[in-house]
Amino acid sequence: MLIVTGANGNLGRGVVEQLLKRVPAEQIGVSVRDVNKAKELMAQGVRVRHGDFDDAESLLYAFEGASQILLVSSGILGEAGIRQHQTAIHAAKKSGAGRVLYTSHVGSSSTSYFPPMIHHAATEALLQESGMPYTSLRNGFYASSLISLIGEAIKTGELIVPVDGPIAWTTHADLAQATAVMLTEQHWDGSSPNLTASEAMDMEGVAAMVSDIVGRPIYRKVVPDEAYREYLTAQGFPEARIAITMGLFRASRNGDFARTSNALAELIGRPPMKLRDFLKASIAHMNQ
């Protein structure tokens, strides 16, 4: 049985939907914190069980009979998040699963300026130490993260950012399809090739693209890091989010997210979704 954790989230649910196109529903199980939010999957014949990364016993129950387990990162940073992932990896091993796939990132690094990358690197180390067969999915940066960065700019016509670097913005939908293929058709040991969009773009390119989509000028205004921090503070961003956002720009100008590869296109059998198409659809949704 193929088990997907976090199946109520964007990526996890997308993977399950793709798996349903490839294997019978009774071969798919999900581990979710809230089973009520997964009733639709249950109605389609997917096995739905409660599983919490803070509760090893619940995970053993959710992972029962697993041949492969997709561990979708919990999104909790710091020691608490690492403990959650360690609990999940131990439960996966104890369940007898043959392989674990983990949703890591192309920028995974223990020395990254962007805190989630340190989190991914630590989890990859835990997987290696476990002795289990595993695949660390080197996913591209989620394109959905870009929406919160451009929302204010669409209103004001000014995209205020610090110095940045190119990012290979990649959609959840493409990554979900690729992950389903890897669960059912192809396997890589250790880290996968970079699963990214085919091009990387900096914020100047994003501003130009958004300008074209909305039909009016959107200017990129580059400010010093401290001025950007003050800008985020004035918008009411909590300190934790400010640290993560600042880290994103510092890591991007270090080139951490600029790498691209053909691996994603080869897995899904088509070119990845273009950033312009994603932004156009997302902006249209914002305006509804």
Q: What is residue 29's predicted lDDT score, i.e. its pLDDT?
A: 98
Q: Looking at the predicted structure, is the pLDDT value of residue 202 above 90?
A: yes
The domains found in the chain, sorted by start residue, are 2-138+172-195 (3.40.50.720)
Q: Looking at the predicted structure, is the pLDDT value of residue 133 above 90?
A: yes
Q: What is residue 99's predicted lDDT score, i.e. its pLDDT?
A: 97
Q: How many CB atoms lie within 10 A of CB 172?
A: 20
What does pLDDT average to over the chain? 94
Q: Looking at the predicted structure, is the pLDDT value of residue 22 above 90?
A: yes
Q: Pull the structure tokens for residue 25.
A: 């529903």
Residue with tokens 């001025």: 227
* CA 155 to each of CA 214, 217, 261: distance values in angstroms, whole numbers, following the listed order: 11, 11, 34
Query: Distance between CA 76 and CA 72 in Å, rounded?
Result: 11
Q: What is residue 66's predicted lDDT score, i.e. its pLDDT?
A: 97
Q: Which among 141, 148, 144 is positioned nearest to 264, based on CA atoms?
A: 141
pLDDT band at 288 (very low <50, low <70, confident <90, very high): low
Q: Looking at the predicted structure, is the pLDDT value of residue 122 above 80?
A: yes
